[in-house]
Amino acid sequence: MEIALLGRQFNENIITDPGFVDIFPVSRIPKHMQPHFKPIYRLSEESLDRQDRKKEKGFRIATDSSTLSSVLKWVSDAEVRMQSYIKGNSTPQANLDVLDKLMSARHELAEIMGCKSYAEFAIRPNMAASPDVVMSFLLDLSKTVRKKADEEFKRIQDFKRRFCNERSADLEPWDEAYFTGMMKSSTYDLDSSVISSYFSLSQCLEGLKLLVESLFGATFHRIPVARGESWHPDVMKLSLHHPQEGDLGFLYLDLYSRKGKYPCCAHFAIRGGRRLSETEYQLPIVALVCNFPGSPGSSRSRLNHWDVETLFHEFGHALHSLLSRTDYQHFSGTRVVLDLAETPSNLFEYYAWDYRVLRTFARHDTTGEVIPEKLVEAMNGARNMFVATEFQRQIFYSLMDLTLFGEQPATPRETISVVADLKKQHTSWNHVEGTHWHTRFNHLINYGAGYYSYLYARCFAATIWQEICCEHPLSRCTGSALRTKFLQHGGAKDPSDLLKELAGNSVIRNCSRGIVPDTSSLLKEIGF
């Protein structure tokens, strides 16, 4: 109970204490961003001694993760980016204490269960089987990626120095999104507003429906929501129907951002499927909760492509739940070992980037024109420009999570210093003194000692995509293989057998007493 309460407090603190910075004058914020910020006023320094006492307008910028991401990408004023980065990455302060208590409570639980650490307790049931196996996997990846990540860092730094005409300018963490965005846009002539014009939310939902029909021969139908059934009027309900098999399950969609709502995008299994008798099956019920812009019925709800990828990711989880057919609810859908759970979601991200898929639904919201193939090629090119930097970041996150919940030293160390040391060792970027970004990293709650599973999943998904999906991503044959050899089994079958039967024996390899993914498909894909 204490662990659950601490986790809830950690997440609540992220929502209630996002931090903020006050920026004056308004000209320091791009005009297209100004409507999203709260206007504030102060007495102008020039008018303090005058009778008219003019007010100067500025903006209060909340530094929650989403807003901070936009500021760091689009605001040209380096000082504004710096202030926002430091504030956003040093809140909520209260979570430093919450995390210390959580680490202690989880460690106590692990000891009660006969384990040396919470990491051992959490990983023991998984394919990896032990923290040592995971650590070895992560350290090998870190070494593999480092050279290319350092080269990318230098490219960004050189670009900044040329752009700012300062030969010795340092590259700071608050510069990354701004300058990489500029480099991608200039190299591939990309305009985010042009890209989003092809991805209205309504069209993206149509795309998911077409994808499911093409792969699995099943169709989504909107059905009425009974009185008292929904938690908000914006929620819609869909049934997944197969012409021969009947209804396969039900999906709630709660897609639009609103005040006080759960701030992340996530899949929730409301009810798992299970065999009731030889002729009856309890159908699964799941929900996708997202925070996209707009409102139901809005014709102007556009998604950036990162949101499109997120939607496909969460939809992969939903399909895992909806297509599962297990005897017991405990093994239904995503109720699998943790280091397999993210595989379907990572696999369906590939569909969000493949032109053969995008051309089936991505149409300009004004002209109806199908998204141009050259635009999708440019998007993929930009995506791959700094792939080692992003890969390195995910390795660092995984090492941080594993270390914080690993064996506890006799003298407790501040988590700030632990995270700072890991960042210096395993990334090309500096740690900014006074910041503690990890106190808003809610995966420490949901995936304690398990964040590495995203990297496992990326490796598995890369192999499955190359071996099963890439040649004919929309064929019924591809869908049949995914469903019958993988998705329908949920957690009722040994995960290593599932993977090998779907993608071949080389998809995994043994390491000590555990299992690690084969990394060759992923490393080849990202240019190593």
**314 in catalytic set:** yes
For residues 73 and 178, the answer to whether their CB atoms sit within 8 Å is yes
- The answer for 339, left when phi > 0, alpha when psi is -120 to 50, beta otherwise, is alpha
Residue type, 426: H
Please state, in angstroms and rounded to a whole number, the distance separating the CA atoms of residues 408 and 422: 16
Q: Which of 381, 353, 351, 345 is nearest to 527 (CA)?
A: 381
Cα separation, 179 vs 186, in Å, equals 10
Greatest extent of the chain over all pairs of C-alpha atoms, in Å: 87
Could you tell me where the beta strands, DSSP code E, fall in 29-88? 38-43, 55-62
| Sequential DSSP letters for 265-303 | -EEEEEE--EE-SSS-EE--EEEEEEEESS-TT-TT-B-
Q: Which helix (H) or strand (E) holds 472?
A: none
The answer to whether 489 and 326 have CB atoms below 8 angstroms apart is: yes
* DSSP element (H, E) containing 502: helix 495-503
Q: Show the DSSP H helices in 260-342 as ranges.
A: 305-322, 338-341
Answer yes or no: are the C-beta atoms of 283 and 248 closer than 8 Å. Answer: yes
Task: Give me the catalytic one of 314, 342, 373, 467.
Answer: 314
Partners of residue 221 on adjacent β-strands? 239
The DSSP letter of residue 170 is P
Report which residue type is found at 35. Answer: P
Tokens of 226: 């009974």
Q: How far apart are CA 458 and CA 519, in angstroms?
A: 9
**425: Cβ contacts below 8 Å, ≥ 6 apart:** none
Which two tokens mark 208?
A: 């998911």
What distance in Å separates the CA atoms of residue 50 and residue 54, rounded to the nearest whole number? Answer: 8
Question: 475: closest CA among 218, 215, 216?
Answer: 215
Helical axes 453-464 vs 131-164, angle rounded to 10°: 80
Partners of 250 in the β-ladder: 239, 285
Alpha carbons within 13 A on the beta-carbon side of 176: 17
What are the residues whose beta carbons fall under 8 Å from the beta carbon of 450, sequence distance 6 or more? 122, 123, 126, 338, 339, 401
Residues with catalytic roles: 314
